[in-house]
Amino acid sequence: MSTAIKIDRIAIIGVGLIGGSLALVLKQVGAVNKIIGYCRSRESGQLALDLGVIDHLASTVDEAVTQADVVVLATPVGAMPSLLEAVAKSVGPEVVITDVGSVKQSISKAAGDALGKHAHRFVPGHPVAGAEYSGVSAAKVDLFRGKRVILTPQQDADLQACAVVQRMWQAAGAEVIEMSAKQHDEILAATSHLPHVLAFALVDWLAQQDRGDLFDFAAGGFYDFTRIASSDPAMWRDICVANKQQLLIRLQDFQKAIGDIAGLIDSENADELMKIFERAKAARDLTLPQRSDSRNKK
Ligand code: NAP
């Protein structure tokens, strides 16, 4: 199938890091004629307009949606249910609706509840790409290049709508894969949501310790491990709550693993500790080889 796509008018609801980056790349590759943006605050929207990320700033969701052929929800997950209700009031039968939220089951359910007869034209998506920075000023034209985007369409999803969203992301340079929303939430709970919780928890716990000099001795490993604790707190609060079930399963399993390691340290079981560390190193080196190599070259 050809990946070339030309969308006449796209509405991006929430022109921040992800929405702004999508707007930049679609414009650069000529995949869209006009980008309409809508933000919660006038300041963010005006900044997106001033930076040339969007062509038109809508004052309301209704104004954005009624002008669009494709609507992309790119706000924090917690804002999406009410925005989907607002979208439902204005959306026409031919419009394709998608989102970029980091949790898929709860958003699919909210879309089903809100969109009614338009629900089959909603194609949930999640670009597995990002950064710890927020807002349109952090948007990057190459944010999605070579990255994966996961689509989790329902079984009765409109095939033409799925093709539009797939080709939109391909135009942005991403590799598109499909899976169920449940599978997505299970996997991302382990590889994204759990690590963010651990990073936030570690930094907060250290910051609460009764001595001010701990961070003075933080080296590269600490920076690597905690970089994602600089991510937007509101975004991650929403993700944790929305993927509560899967995240709690992973957290509980992980607490057990940490407890086991504490036991091995306490009993000075060096052989077992070595086995775990070797297993972890082998798994990381095997599964994330390019990133390990590129860091080692620095
Ligand atoms: P962001 O940079 O903070 O941008 C969020 C945008 O949404 C801002 O323009 C914000 O406008 C707007 N917004 C917030 N609440 C709104 C509301 N109620 N109505 C309308 N607009 C609203 O966030 P982001 O990093 O782009 O994340 C956006 C989505 O992408 C999230 O669902 C996240 O789960 C997902 N995602 C993020 C990453 C990542 O690494 N950051 C990666 C993949 C997916 P104001 O500035 O006016 O508040």
pLDDT mean across residues, the chain: 94
From 13, 15, 17, 72, give the residue whose CB has the most ligand 1 atoms within 8 Å, as the site to mutate. Answer: 17
Please compute the mean of the pLDDT values over residues 45-59 and round it to a whole number: 98
β-strand partners of 70 = 10, 96
How far apart are alpha carbons 37 and 282 in whole angstroms? 45
pLDDT value for 294: 46
pLDDT value for 274: 98
Please compute the mean of the pLDDT values over residues 148-157 and round it to a whole number: 97
Q: What is the residue-wise DSSP string for 34-59?
A: EEEEE-SSHHHHHHHHHTTS-SEE-S
What is the domain partition of the chain in residue ranges? 7-179, 184-267
How far apart are alpha carbons 204 and 209 in whole angstroms? 9
Residues 203-226 pLDDT 10s? 999 999 978 788 888 899 999 999
CATH match of 184-267 with 1.10.3660.10: yes
How far apart are alpha carbons 68 and 200 in whole angstroms? 38
* Closest CA relative to residue 55, chosen from 74, 75, 35: 35
CATH fold for domain 7-179: Rossmann fold (3.40.50)
Any residues with Cβ below 6 Å from ligand 1, and which?
13-19, 39-41, 44, 74-77, 79, 83, 100-102, 126-127, 130-131, 134-135, 232, 235, 239
How far apart are alpha carbons 228 and 215 in whole angstroms? 16
Global model pTM greater than 0.85 = yes
From 21, 38, 40, give the residue whose CB has the most ligand 1 atoms within 8 Å, as the site to mutate. Answer: 40
**Mean pLDDT lowest for which of 90-99, 207-216, 259-268?**
207-216
pLDDT value for 291: 61
| Residue type for position 252 | Q
> Is the separation of the CB atoms in 147 and 129 below 8 Å?
yes
Residue nearest to atom 41 of ligand 1 (CA): 130
> Is the separation of the CB atoms in 165 and 98 below 8 Å?
yes
